[in-house]
Amino acid sequence: AHDFRSTSHDSEDTELRFVTCQSLWNQIKSETEQIQEDLNKQLLDNLVSFLSRSHSDFQEKTTKWTCRMKFREIPTAALVLGVNVTDHDLTFRGLSDVLQDNITPYVALLEAKDCPGIKNLMQKLMGQLMNCDVEVDSLEDEDCVQVSQNRIRCSMPSLISWYESVTKETDSETPSKKRNSSSRHWQSPPVVVIFKDMESFTTKVLQDFIVISSQHIHELPLVLIFGIATSPMIIHRLLPHSVSSLLCIELFQSLSCKEHLSTIIDKLLLTSRFPFKLGEKVLQVLINIFLYHDFSVQNFIKGFQLCIVEHFYSQPLSVLCCHLADLKKRVYSLSHDQCENIRRLPSFRRYVEKQESGKQIELLTNDSFLKEETEKLLEDLHVYHENYVSVLRCLHVFTSSLPKYPLGKQIRELHCACLENQVWETEEYESSLQLARMLNKTDLVSMLQQCVEILMSSSGKEFDKSVEKLKEFLTQFQNLEAEASQERDVSGSSQKELQKKTDLYHLQKTLLELKESRRSKKLTKFEMLRFEVVDYIDRLVRKYLVPADNRTLHEIVYFNAATVLRGHLNAAPRTALHTALNNPHWYLKNQALKCDGGGISNKAPDICIVYKLHLECGRLINLVDWLEAFSTVVMAGEEPNAAAASSDQVDDIIHARFIRAVSELELLGFIKPSKQKTDHVARLTWGGC
Amino acid sequence: MPNLEHPAYPAADLLHLESLVPCRESQVSMLLSIFGERQQFSFPSIFIYGHTSSGKTYVMQTLLTTLQLPHVFVNCVEYFTSRLLLEEILIQLQSCSGTEQVSPVRCDTLNDFVRLFKQALATRELQDQTLYIVLDRAEQLREMEANILPAFLRLQELTDRNVTVVLLSEIVWELFRPTIGCFEPFTMYFPDYSIGHLQKILSQNHPPEYSADFYAAYINILLGVFYMVCRDLKELRHLAALNFAKYCEPVVRGEANERDTRKLWKNIEPHLKKAMQTVYLREISSSQWERLQHDGGEPGQLKGLSAHTHVELPYYSKFLLIAAYLASYNPVRTDKRFFLKHHGKIRKTNFMKKHEKTSNHLLGPKPFPLDRLLAILYSIVDNRVAPTANIFSQITSLVTLQLLSMVGQNDQLDGPRYKCTVSLDFIRAIAR
């Protein structure tokens, strides 16, 4: 997919970049898969216990009265997965793997698009079930023959007889070799049928299937799993009561996709484990696509992958975007061209300008000096990341508990704000500090404790002092409690004094005094301490949460090309088409086509002229007028006398060109023939784009 | 006093049969007299209809098995194509004629069926008996090929054998009758069970540990609660079995004896009411209900299916859905008034009142073109929306989620039209 080699010459370490990119992506991929697995674990465990419970009475063949009297319902799990349909595949794959490992080898996944009728559904179901059986004991060839024979009659009885034969087989021949595989399942494992997208199935198919299988539930221990994207109410909407009363539905809910995303961001972006970082704009694009359009975590990860590929592809210096251990070797093996690349980086140029003149010359001329400096700077950048993440988490502890969340509730919002610009200069930061100065003591203490934990667990070495300082604050808060009681006495005494005074003059005087003192009241010790704490946090923020753009050499690890990404991920076909037709210069890069504002150039392709003319029309377009206008535009460049000569008779060639252009527009879906008026076409679009 | 009398069958069998089919004696005796003696030709086709769980299938099955009449019993829902149906009949025929080896048969058309059917009957030992073919859920036959139903109705004539086809259905014969005309079957109606019948049938199988009277009293209470909403015998029996443990609780604990009806009623009545709101509607499943009962927990802590109505949607999907709702329920001419900043002055409302007497919500959603949806979307979203591919794919995914529905499957270029299928409450919840 990414062909680095052919595009640039080898002095830019293309080979190495490619390898680095791939290894990084593989790491990230396995990490995301791990996260996904952990998040789904709870859900899958619940489902597995439901399934193992569901047919527990199937083998026992109880003759108890209640069992005889009770109607045998089909155990059904309604699995609410959220609207992010693209993520479901992964969940289902995980689910069927888990089921096959723990419960039953007989799992069938059905999709609505494969099952327009009950016949197709049965075919698909039997195909999947019987094939899976062939896989389980692939040694027997006779089985395969039987399967193909059976496929002719896809009805429930043949399924049942298949099931009986299969279970009997595993019962009778459980000799040494098969013990391992079959001992995990019980004697008669349930048959699990998963409907991936419940909403898209037609009512009739579902109803028929449920009615049929409920008649055979005694012979075939069936369990249904409905994958639901919207709400479980859909079951009642799709199935009438007579059918839904055949089911024994239990509800399972998966984790919401927003939480899923938060975990992913937390584990992938807010960590110093991966050298690659996303710039603010890029992250914003990815998050916006997620929140505004699809809620799909898979797409988010795909977008992230695209960022990685794009970064390693387009930035030659990305070869230095590696783990700290490899850094030294890579820096020293840089070619001269690459050194020039470094010198060309804007952030490096800013850095150079700040240095004294002697060093400037060294940096710009001496490659080995440059390499030393680069290594140092990159190490600094790495340290900066470690500190950044820890302090960001600390700040998040504070801001996430403030009323109205001026800096956002999620840590990703805070992260974006910090990346964007110097966060302490924003109004939101100011107001959150104001609010933080009004926190009560218990909250403050618990937050401080959390911060201490975060800083302790971080790998940065600079935090020892901060941790000590925070701990000191904590002890001071504890000491305060003792003093608080004393203070109460003081205020009590002043109250007493007030009661003593009896005459009006003195009373007035003391009251005024009290008022005065209250206005310029000295801060209590607690308040002083609170100010100190908030100021300290503020200092930490100012020191460590500097936006990455200000760091030297940030271009190496940060991917910032948001427009490229947006073009790839959030394509706007209609806008692109409009631009192409309205302003052909944009794509064709022909100077002759460069037009000024609203004018129509006669050098533009015919379809562009026709398109521009049709923009001026209403809903119905008269073809004759259109042709007239078209020929006027086209003839405008030619000699005026020739045009005048044939003014009433349109040239055949122009006519043909016009017709071709119009039919091209029709093909593109801008117009269609109209039956309302003869010689008219109807516009299908409106507005500029 | 045996109601069923027929010279052809032994009295003991008839008595046994009668005990098995309570409250359906008259129908059974009617059927018996139509069937006649074993070797006699019967009516070519009989059509039996009646409401859900009025005992059609059960009566037919018990009648045929107790009297050991040769029969084939097929459910038409299960054998959804004519081929499957015909083959299944032939297979069952093989097995009931006593052949050990059931060989797969191929039967694609009715012509083949008639031929194979004759063959099968020829090899049977009981050639002189009427064969009964019972087609349950016969309404499905209408969806198969046009010749299937008329052929089954006159199968006796076509095969020239002693065979009777019995059709069981929940709908009346008038809805079956093909337009081209066919043989009219003998129609027979199974009326619903009355409350007395239900009481009698349900009380019949009481659990062995308790006396019949005790159980009958329980059934009486149960019917008092559920009869208003549910007359389905199967469902009632299921509910009875689910809740019986709770009813017995005071007796088991020794707080009341079996005759203490009032106390028992007080104990069970609220419980049953709760069951009606939850289990009966399948809001919570029977097994969850049983576990709750067992643990003695409150049903309130388990949320039913309809409690989870909230659907989380992406930002633009929400607005798309709201725009679709507005487009579906507002007439086109009000668009200008609602969504344009500088609309003209609102005309006097006299004119509107005349036409808009009925609420648009009663009329249901109206289809709207894609362009209108997008125009409304642009005007209700605050910031500029680029018409990206993502927006369009979101519309399609809303259609697959059944929140919107596509009207008319015509060409996409013609401008697709949609309808909004969600309710006002749903939109309200989203708009919050």
Its ipTM equals 0.87
pLDDT exceeds cutoff 90 at B141:
no
B33 min Cα distance to partner chain A (Å): 31
Q: What is the pLDDT of residue A440?
A: 81
How far out from the chain centre does Cα B171 lie?
Answer: 12
Q: Is A546 on the interface with B (CB under 8 A)?
A: no
Tens-digit pLDDT profile for residues B11-44: 888 888 888 888 888 888 888 888 888 888 888 8
**Tell me, what amino acid is at A210?**
I
Decide: A258 and A413 in contact? Cβ < 8 Å: no
Decide: A111 and A274 in contact? Cβ < 8 Å: no
| Distance from C-alpha of B329 to C-alpha of B318, rounded to nearest angstrom | 17
Contacts of A294 in chain B (CB under 8 A): 314, 390, 393-394, 397
Residues 6+ apart with CB under 8 A from A190: A51, A54, A55, A58, A75, A103, A104, A106, A221, A222, A223
C-alpha count within 13 angstroms, C-beta hemisphere, residue B111 = 0
Q: What angle do CA A210, A214, A215 make, to 5 degrees?
A: 125
* Best B91, B140, B206, B305 residue to mutate vs chain A (most A CBs within 10 Å): B305
Q: CA dist A216 to A73, A163, A194, A395, Å?
A: 11, 12, 18, 61
HEC profile of A225-242: EEEECCCCHHHHHHCCHH
Residue A250, domain CATH? 3.40.50.300
Q: CA dist B222 to A292, A548, B90, Å?
A: 52, 72, 44
Within 26-85 of B, beta carbons closer than 8 Å to A belong to 52, 75, 77-81, 84
Domain closes at, from A255, A277, A300: A255
Contacts of A565 in chain B (CB under 8 A): none
* Alpha-carbon dihedral sign for residues B60, B64, B69, B70: positive
Q: Give the DSSP H or E segment for A223.
A: strand A222-228
Rg (CA), chain B: 31
* Among chain B residues, CA nearest to A291: B314
- Does residue A402 sit in the same domain as residue A430? yes
Decide: A633 and A688 in contact? Cβ < 8 Å: no
C-alpha count within 13 angstroms, C-beta hemisphere, residue B375 = 16
* Nearest C-alpha neighbor of A238 from the set A215, A213, A205, A216: A205
Whose tokens are 């193909």? That residue is A148
Question: Tokens for A202?
Answer: 């037609």
Contacts of B390 in chain A (CB under 8 A): 289, 292-294, 570-571
- Does residue A548 sit in the same domain as residue A667? no
Is B58 buried (19+), middle (13-18) or exposed (0-12) by CB count in 10 A? middle
Contacts of B306 in chain A (CB under 8 A): 232-233, 236
The minimal CB distance from B80 to the residues A76, A118, A248 is found for: A118
Q: What is the pLDDT of residue A585?
A: 82
- Does residue A308 sit in the same domain as residue A199? no
- Does residue A431 sit in the same domain as residue A539? yes
- Does residue A464 sit in the same domain as residue A393? yes
Decide: A665 and A610 in contact? Cβ < 8 Å: yes
Q: What angle do CA A275, A281, A282 make, to 5 degrees?
A: 55
Alpha-helix runs per DSSP H in A559-605:
562-569, 573-582, 585-588
A397 min Cα distance to partner chain B (Å): 27
In Å, the largest CA–CA distance within chain A is 117
The minimal CB distance from B77 to the residues A153, A211, A572 is found for: A211
- Does residue A201 sit in the same domain as residue A267? no
Whose tokens are 């992010």? That residue is A84
The minimal CB distance from A155 to the residues B79, B207, B313 is found for: B79
Instruction: Confirm whether A165 is domain-assigned.
Output: no
| Distance from C-alpha of B154 to C-alpha of B177, rounded to nearest angstrom | 14
* Best A46, A66, A205, A302 residue to mutate vs chain B (most B CBs within 10 Å): A66
| Distance from C-alpha of A388 to C-alpha of A406, rounded to nearest angstrom | 20
Tens-digit pLDDT profile for residues B279-315: 777 777 777 777 777 776 555 556 677 777 778 888 8
Instruction: Confirm whether A526 is domain-assigned.
Output: yes
| Distance from C-alpha of B401 to C-alpha of B320, rounded to nearest angstrom | 13
How many structural domains does chain A have?
Answer: 3
Buried b (16+ CB within 10 A) or exposed e, A434-447: ebbeebeeeebbeb
Contact (CB<8Å) A684/B413 = yes
Q: Is B203 on the interface with A (CB under 8 A)?
A: no
The minimal CB distance from A672 to the residues B207, B237, B414 is found for: B414
- Does residue A229 sit in the same domain as residue A272? no
* Nearest C-alpha neighbor of A157 from the set B138, B84, B166, B107: B84
> Which residue segment(s) compose the domain that A80 sits in?
20-58+70-132+187-255
Q: Is B404 on the interface with A (CB under 8 A)?
A: no
Contact (CB<8Å) B390/A293 = yes
Question: Where does residue A650 fall: left (phi above 0), alpha (psi -120 to 50 degrees), or beta otherwise?
Answer: beta
Q: Is B211 on the interface with A (CB under 8 A)?
A: no
Decide: A593 and A585 in contact? Cβ < 8 Å: yes
Contacts of A571 in chain B (CB under 8 A): 388-390
- Does residue A383 sit in the same domain as residue A426? yes
Instruction: Confirm whether A284 is domain-assigned.
Output: yes
**Tell me, what amino acid is at A370?**
L
Strand partners, A248: A75
Alpha-helix runs per DSSP H in B209-359:
212-226, 233-253, 261-277, 286-295, 315-329, 335-339, 350-355
Decide: B74 and B136 in contact? Cβ < 8 Å: yes
| Distance from C-alpha of B282 to C-alpha of B336, rounded to nearest angstrom | 46
Question: Tokens for A1?
Answer: 């997919």
Q: Is A73 on the interface with B (CB under 8 A)?
A: yes
For helices A525-544 and A441-457, give the axis angle rounded to 10 degrees.
Answer: 30
DSSP state of A198: G
Domain closes at, from A225, A255, A285: A255
| Distance from C-alpha of B74 to C-alpha of B82, rounded to nearest angstrom | 12
* Best B94, B209, B402, B421 residue to mutate vs chain A (most A CBs within 10 Å): B402
Return the minimum-mean-pLDDT range out of A663-677, B384-398, B408-422: B408-422
- Does residue A451 sit in the same domain as residue A467? yes
Q: Give the number of A-B residue pairs with CB atoms closer than 8 Å.
A: 168
Within 131-160 of A, beta carbons closer than 8 Å to B belong to 149, 152-153, 155-157
| Distance from C-alpha of B346 to C-alpha of B268, rounded to nearest angstrom | 61
pLDDT band at B46 (very low <50, low <70, confident <90, very high): very high
pLDDT exceeds cutoff 90 at B51:
no
Q: Is A247 on the interface with B (CB under 8 A)?
A: yes
Within 363-402 of B, beta carbons closer than 8 Å to A belong to 371, 375, 386-391, 393-394, 397, 400-402
Tens-digit pLDDT profile for residues B221-273: 888 888 888 888 888 888 888 888 888 888 888 777 777 778 888 888 888 88
Alpha-helix runs per DSSP H in B381-419:
389-400
The minimal CB distance from A65 to the residues B208, B234, B387 is found for: B208
Instruction: Confirm whether A47 is domain-assigned.
Output: yes
Pairing of strands B71-75, B131-136: parallel
In Å, the largest CA–CA distance within chain B is 92
Pairing of strands A680-683, A671-673: antiparallel
Pairing of strands A247-253, A277-278: unpaired
Domains delineated in chain B: 11-189 (3.40.50.300), 195-307 (no CATH), 315-340+362-431 (1.10.10)
Instruction: Confirm whether A182 is domain-assigned.
Output: no
Q: What angle do CA A180, A186, A191 make, to 5 degrees?
A: 115
* Among chain A residues, CA nearest to B206: A65
Question: Where does residue B181 fall: left (phi above 0), alpha (psi -120 to 50 degrees), or beta otherwise?
Answer: left
- Does residue A345 sit in the same domain as residue A227? no
- Does residue A414 sit in the same domain as residue A291? yes
pTM listed for this prediction = 0.81
Whose tokens are 């290894």? That residue is A23
Question: Tokens for A168?
Answer: 């009997």
| Distance from C-alpha of A196 to C-alpha of A454, rounded to nearest angstrom | 42
Contact (CB<8Å) A295/B314 = yes
Buried b (16+ CB within 10 A) or exposed e, B259-282: eeeeebbebbeebbebbbebbbbb
Instruction: Confirm whether A146 is domain-assigned.
Output: no
Decide: B3 and B23 in contact? Cβ < 8 Å: no
Instruction: Confirm whether A459 is domain-assigned.
Output: yes
pLDDT band at B49 (very low <50, low <70, confident <90, very high): very high
Decide: B67 and B127 in contact? Cβ < 8 Å: no
B312 min Cα distance to partner chain A (Å): 7
Contact (CB<8Å) B386/A572 = yes
- Does residue A470 sit in the same domain as residue A547? yes
| Distance from C-alpha of A120 to C-alpha of B248, rounded to nearest angstrom | 48
Question: Tokens for A215?
Answer: 């008649």
Contact (CB<8Å) A199/B386 = no
Mean pLDDT by 10 residues, chain A (689 residues): 48 81 91 88 87 68 61 84 84 87 84 86 85 48 44 71 79 42 58 88 89 85 88 85 84 86 88 85 90 88 91 87 84 86 88 87 86 88 87 86 81 86 84 84 84 79 78 82 61 53 71 69 74 85 84 86 85 84 82 67 84 85 89 74 56 89 88 83 68
Q: What is the pLDDT of residue A150?
A: 45
Tens-digit pLDDT profile for residues B337-368: 777 766 555 554 444 555 555 677 778 888 88
Instruction: Confirm whether A175 is domain-assigned.
Output: no
Q: Is B192 on the interface with A (CB under 8 A)?
A: no
Q: Give the DSSP H or E segment for A250.
A: strand A247-253
